[in-house]
Amino acid sequence: MLKKNKYIWPKKIHLLLKELHNEISLNNNNWHKFRGNKQRRSAELIIAALSQLIHNGDDAEIEDLLNQAILWIKEEIKDTGCKSH
């Protein structure tokens, strides 16, 4: 079932969100550089939550992403590192 607000976001918002998500998300090239950076990790989670919100995602999943971001900001969670290093 689709939610009623399916069309409240202009197409440009979807394009901008995708571009921002691609720029903020950690990937194979920057993982080791930013994996422990609380601002970068929390921003990645916040943009994921925003993406879910714009795309009519599950409210509980959105809340979980935002709560994870808050934990990073408060430094209550940290990256445990790579086991292979």
Q: Per residue in 61-83, pLDDT tens?
A: 999 999 999 999 999 988 776 66
d(CA 24, CA 1): 31
What pTM was estimated for this model as a whole?
A: 0.82
pLDDT of residue 31: 85
pLDDT at 54 over 70: yes
How many other C-beta atoms lie within 10 A of the C-beta of residue 59?
10
d(CA 54, CA 62): 10
Q: Which one-letter DSSP state was computed for residue 79?
A: -
Q: Sketch the domain layout of the chain as residue ranges.
A: 36-76
Q: pLDDT tens for residues 3-39?
A: 555 678 999 999 999 999 999 998 888 888 888 899 9
